[in-house]
Structure 1
Amino acid sequence: MSAPTAQVVDDQDFAHVRDQVREFVRDAVVPREREIADTDTIPEDLRAAAADMGLFGYALPQEYGGLGLVITQDVELAFEFGYTALSFRSLFGTNNGIAGQVLVGYGTDEQKKTWLEPMAEGRCIASFALTEPEAGSDPSGMRATARWTGDGWVIDGQKRYITNAPLSDLLVTFAKVRGVPESEGRIAVFLVPTTTAGVIIGPKDQKMGQAGATSSEVTFDGVHVGPEALVSGEVDTGFRAAMSVLARGRVHISALAMGLAQRALDESVAYSAVNRQGGVPTGERQLVQAMLAEQASLVMAGKACAREAAARYLDGSDRRIGPSAAKLFCTESAGRVADLAVQVHGGAGYMREMPVERLYRDVRLLRLYEGTSEIQKLIVGRELMRAAS
């Protein structure tokens, strides 16, 4: 099974959706960033509003209650989501992204009917349970197992840094197959409700940044699920599904990074226009202007890179090099833009009350999850050499 690629929302309708999201982010979420940081949670009214707007299912098919946006449109929304606390996007990001897209691309008709509609409506939050203590960007070291018992599967293992796990209703879980001789050791993917006996959700992780975003360890202790839990009904689907959705997710993260970079640039320009040193706005100093110019150049280049990667992903011409190259460039560039924003603010940029201090901490994670910068370099280099051989 493959994910649908036909665009179902025309440009005019999508422009309306994007404008609504932009207005909501800037008028409703941005003013409450301090509240999100202080409480380390997304206020319930913002969650409800996001659900009402369809944000829990904007990238899920319309037939299951989603908006049906494709990756090129997803990128434009990610520019908007990145403009505020990244934890807001994290609340519904797994439904639309790496967890939801496994179901969209590889689920059976019955699995889609069961899960996609509640996910699109925000009644169900799905998590992507891939990362382990000894298997991060490279899943080949996975230790979790799924043993066939004749009437179902028994899953054992531990997952780490699972986004939204403390809030989750469904774990899209990857494990190595045992008890099926022809597929022994291959990676399969299962749909495991968090209410299943033996599923243990650990305490919420305490992170450097992205306050309000929840993640935790998840332990599977003799978790029994029926045959219907196996995504696609085939044990060989897991690795292919993981690589496919991660590539798509990397395009999304690229755009998210550029949304944050745009915010850092805007904060830098606004501060430089009013902050005075020696009676002169610091923005009139050439060294400050040089930093602003570098920020603006990186934002422009990064947005173009994310859009190009999305277009090529959508038409199928590049789903390997483009997503990895875009994630590498955009997340590293966003880190540079955020660093420059702190520098432009001087000592004030190191103070908790300044937005750029939060941006500086939030952006650091983007170079780690869904494949580190180092893994992206390996993918791009390997694919370039493969094409040349």
Structure 2
Amino acid sequence: MATTGMDPEIFDQFIDQLKRYVRERLIPAEAEVIANDRIPDDLLDEMREMGLFGLTMPEEYGGSGMNVPQYVETIRVLSYALPAYRSITSINLGMVCSALKNSGTDEQKAEWLPRLAAGEIACFGLTEPGSGSDSAAMATTARKDGNGYVLNGSKRYITNAPHAKLGLIMARTSQEALPRNAHVSAFLVPMDSPGISVGKPDRKMGQSGSHIADIYLDDVKLPGDALLGGEEGKGFATAMQSLDNGRLSVGAASAGYAQRILDTALRYASERKAFGEPIANFQLIQAMLADSRAEIYAAECMLRDASEKADKGKAIIECASAKMFASEMCNRVADRCVQIHGGAGYLAEYEAERFYRDSRIYTIYEGTTQILQLVIAKNMLREFAAGAAA
């Protein structure tokens, strides 16, 4: 059943306010964010005051109570600006909040959701040096210790790890690889717990101001109530459910950023002259612009449909498809933007070069294009087999 979400009229007003904020505050601050590789504290405080960290949290916990389509549209609008602005909020909203709402106990929700809605930053610890999508190879362990657990292992490429107050950490509670990944459990881990250390932020190709780092867990002792939902063996299922929202967020980010990239290409093509006229008059330039607009429109339609289906229940194929298409589309639009700029597109002086680098990650995180192809195909075959057997 679909969730009610924010009142539509209030939501429309919020979106109008967010569009102004993106253009009047976030975009003008991009140069500073890139130069310092961090979002200024005053901007973070403004984002907290606007409620951008609590969009999907239930109202009783201090959030806005947005449904999935409203959340996806908000991320699309926010993502017209530098990717770091979405990145700092998205783990709270699309993954940790989703896991807590779907699987957390009442006590866990009461403790963490208000803090996350107020702007405490969270991280999501699934990927490891030796495993990402392959949960059977997960090496991080959670050993029973009286009524609690002791965690040992490491996590890699964890977004927001250097800033997080809370980590949703996946660890194996069984040495054997069990059916349906029941050997993996999820834990709510305060990041200041003894035994946790965070590595130096990794240097990246793009996405300045957004930070990833390794997390090391050395005999981290947790109480029993740190186990998400109070039940072992549900961690991987929780992670996969959360990834549906995470994939929609990346798809929305791809669509929002692609529109920014296309607008930049349009502006350059209208201003740059060759042979005595703007290059926008040349049909092969127009073809690249037209292809970009059509693909952005297709991604927006996919995201609307997928988010509506996800709001009503499981939409694994739709979410994977929307993320896969939108992220690949954003890369194509960024490539065309560089091409339209010609030699200028290869220079750091112009935004096209940065757009190209920033966009590349979208086809990788929250499931690579290749993993998503497998997800889509396996679920198609499973549905076909179920239909044939009926």
> Is the structural similarity TM-score above 0.5?
yes
Aligned length: 384
Identify the residue that residue 350 of structure 1 maps to in structure 2.
346
Of the three residues 254, 261, 267, the one matched with 2:251 is: 254
Identity percentage of aligned residues:
39
Identify the residue that residue 136 of structure 1 maps to in structure 2.
132
Identify the residue that residue 373 of structure 2 maps to in structure 1.
377
CA distance in 2 between counterparts of 1:388 and 1:168 reads: 42
Question: Does the CA-based 8 Å contact 1:147-1:179 persist in structure 2?
Answer: no
Of the three residues 19, 31, 34, the one matched with 2:31 is: 34
- Residues 149, 178 of structure 1: CA spacing in aligned structure 2 closer, same or farther, 3 A cutoff? farther
Instruction: For residue 154 of structure 1, report the CA deviation from its aligned partner.
Output: 0.3
Whichever residue aligns with residue 256 of structure 2, its letter is G
Task: Say if 2:267 is the partner of 1:285.
Answer: no
Of the three residues 296, 301, 304, the one matched with 1:299 is: 296
CA distance in 2 between counterparts of 1:237 and 1:385 reads: 24
Instruction: For residue 5 of structure 1, report the CA deviation from its aligned partner.
Output: 4.6
Identify the residue that residue 333 of structure 1 maps to in structure 2.
329
Of the three residues 65, 68, 71, the one matched with 1:71 is: 68
Whichever residue aligns with residue 354 of structure 2, its letter is R
For residue 8 of structure 1, give the secondary structure of its aligned residue in structure 2. Answer: coil
Task: Say if 2:151 is the partner of 1:161.
Answer: no
Whichever residue aligns with residue 375 of structure 1, its letter is I
Over the residues paired in the alignment, what is the CA RMSD in angstroms?
1.8
Whichever residue aligns with residue 59 of structure 1, its letter is T
Of the three residues 200, 209, 213, the one matched with 2:210 is: 213
Of the three residues 46, 49, 52, the one matched with 1:52 is: 49
CA distances 1:18-59 after superposition (whole Å, capped 9, x unpaired): 111111111111112111111110111110100000001111
CA distance in 2 between counterparts of 1:128 and 1:284 reads: 47
Whichever residue aligns with residue 128 of structure 1, its letter is F
CA distances 1:163-207 after superposition (whole Å, capped 9, x unpaired): 100001111110000499x99971111111111110011101110
CA distance in 2 between counterparts of 1:137 and 1:268 reads: 36
Whichever residue aligns with residue 239 of structure 2, its letter is A
CA distance in 1 between counterparts of 2:133 and 2:279 reads: 42
* TM-score using structure 1 length: 0.95
Identify the residue that residue 170 of structure 1 maps to in structure 2.
166
Identify the residue that residue 13 of structure 1 maps to in structure 2.
10
CA distance in 2 between counterparts of 1:311 and 1:141 reads: 34
Whichever residue aligns with residue 237 of structure 2, its letter is R
Instruction: For residue 134 of structure 1, report the CA deviation from its aligned partner.
Output: 1.4
Following superposition of structure 1 onto structure 2, how do residues 110-121 of structure 1 map, counting pairs within 5 Å? Answer: 110-121=107-118
Runs of 4+ off more than 6 Å: 182-185
Identify the residue that residue 264 of structure 1 maps to in structure 2.
261
The runs of 5 or more residues in structure 2 that have no matched partner are: 386-390
Task: Say if 2:241 is the partner of 1:244.
Answer: yes
CA distance in 1 between counterparts of 2:350 and 2:31 reads: 10
For residue 98 of structure 1, give the secondary structure of its aligned residue in structure 2. Answer: helix
* TM-score using structure 2 length: 0.95
Identify the residue that residue 388 of structure 2 maps to in structure 1.
none
CA distances 1:240-268 after superposition (whole Å, capped 9, x unpaired): 10110001211121111000111111111
Whichever residue aligns with residue 218 of structure 2, its letter is D
CA distance in 1 between counterparts of 2:131 and 2:10 reads: 41
Identify the residue that residue 82 of structure 2 maps to in structure 1.
85
